[in-house]
């Protein structure tokens, strides 16, 4: 006996009913309530109690379907930021152009956003319906809405089939998706690398052709995206694919130039990304230690460190000052916190036998 599918309907401009979403029940998907953060559930339940729609959306739903533990649980609702703020005292409204709400539970932060309209494309800030909101999501794997009360998934874009087929499918037309937000190219590579989903030849070609658009992106956004890469546990795959699609030229321009020019440096750098992934998967460590994997191969090229450390007298402070300046330029346009980059530089020097004792004194390092 064939199972009867459930659908959500809405009326079109002529008042006719049309099918807008496929509904998957708890017997048709693999999401278990026990795998959802209790505080995320509390937010959804409370919004419902006040008469609003509320769903867990995006990456959390995707990860739960792929049997991965979500890092974040984002929530979407038809309540406005002001209405959300009135319900949750432990919250604040953030953003100037795109306003949303952060709800706090101890050290955890949950992002609660209002359905957005497609009236001004995929980057406008006009409130809309859940159907419109689904059309603004970048890729179909991020456009599923999970209702933990009914334990149902609402699929407006055929995402469940794309996930089943392991395909990364853009929702926004290719002629607009990267022009409206170039960072989506980085996310495409990240999603493909972390899920194993395939990008079509057409999508790859469009990314390669549009890579130059990343010049429009602020250093702060590029820094944020790069930090996500080095914290992902998939930095090797993401960096390698970014190199092949020319994105790395704008994410890490200096590393890209050296990788293009020197095959040995390229291999060493990619090997460092593999080591970084092993560290991230097995440990929780500070950012500076992760940044060390980004700069270490570059620092290795700056001098003959074996000869330097065997000199009778060396000015460690001067060496540090020069190397820090070189590394600061090397990581541009990324702008990491100074203390973390300093930690990474000191570690890179230590790995080459140059040990910082006191920046204000001249010291002979231990050999």
Q: Which residues are catalytic?
A: 72, 74, 138
Taking residue 252's Cβ as centre, other Cβ atoms within 10 Å add up to 25
Backbone dihedral angles phi then psi of residue 211, each to the nearest 5 degrees: -55, -35
Distance of alpha carbon 177 from alpha carbon 188, whole angstroms = 11
Distance of alpha carbon 232 from alpha carbon 108, whole angstroms = 19
Angle between helices 219-230 and 287-300 (to 10 degrees): 100
Tokens of 174: 């290719």
Distance of alpha carbon 345 from alpha carbon 299, whole angstroms = 8
Longest Cα separation, the chain: 87
Give yes or no for a cis peptide into 333 (omega within 30° of 0): yes
- Specify the DSSP class assigned to residue 337: -
Distance of alpha carbon 92 from alpha carbon 27, whole angstroms = 37
Taking residue 95's Cβ as centre, other Cβ atoms within 10 Å add up to 12
């Amino acid at each position: 006996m064939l199972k009867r599918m459930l659908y959500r309907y809405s009326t079109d401009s002529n008042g006719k009913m049309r099918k807008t979403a496929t509904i998957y029940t708890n017997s048709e998907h693999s999401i278990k309530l026990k795998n959802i953060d209790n505080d995320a559930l509390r937010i959804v339940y409370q919004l419902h109690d006040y008469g609003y729609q509320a769903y867990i959306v995006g990456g959390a739903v995707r990860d739960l379907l792929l049997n991965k533990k979500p890092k974040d649980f984002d929530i979407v609702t038809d309540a406005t930021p002001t209405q959300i703020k009135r319900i949750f005292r432990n919250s604040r409204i953030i953003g100037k152009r795109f306003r949303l709400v952060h709800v706090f539970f101890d050290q955890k932060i949950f992002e609660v956003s209002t359905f957005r309209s497609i009236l001004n494309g995929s980057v406008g800030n006009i409130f809309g319906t859940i159907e419109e909101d689904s059309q603004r999501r970048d890729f179909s794997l991020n456009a599923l809405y999970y209702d933990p009360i009914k334990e149902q998934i609402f699929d407006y874009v055929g995402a469940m089939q794309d996930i089943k087929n392991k395909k990364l499918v853009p929702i926004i037309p290719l002629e607009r998706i990267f022009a409206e937000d170039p960072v989506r190219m980085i996310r495409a590579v990240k999603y493909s690398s972390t899920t194993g989903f395939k990008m079509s030849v057409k999508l790859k070609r469009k990314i390669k052709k549009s890579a130059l658009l990343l010049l429009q992106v602020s250093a702060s956004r590029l820094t944020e995206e790069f930090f996500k890469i080095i914290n992902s546990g998939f930095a090797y795959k993401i960096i390698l694919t970014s190199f092949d699609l020319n994105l790395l030229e704008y994410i890490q321009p200096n590393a890209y130039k050296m990788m293009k020019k020197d095959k040995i440096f390229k291999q060493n750098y990619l090997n460092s990304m593999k080591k970084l992934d092993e560290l991230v998967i097995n440990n929780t460590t500070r950012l500076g230690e992760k940044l060390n994997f980004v700069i270490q191969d570059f620092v290795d090229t700056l001098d003959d460190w074996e000869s330097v450390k065997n000199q009778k007298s060396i000015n460690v402070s001067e060496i540090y000052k020069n190397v820090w300046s070189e590394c600061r330029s090397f990581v541009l346009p990324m702008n990491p916190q100074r203390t973390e980059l300093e930690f990474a530089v000191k570690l890179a020097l230590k790995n080459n036998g140059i040990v910082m004792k006191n920046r204000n004194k001249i010291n002979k390092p231990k050999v």
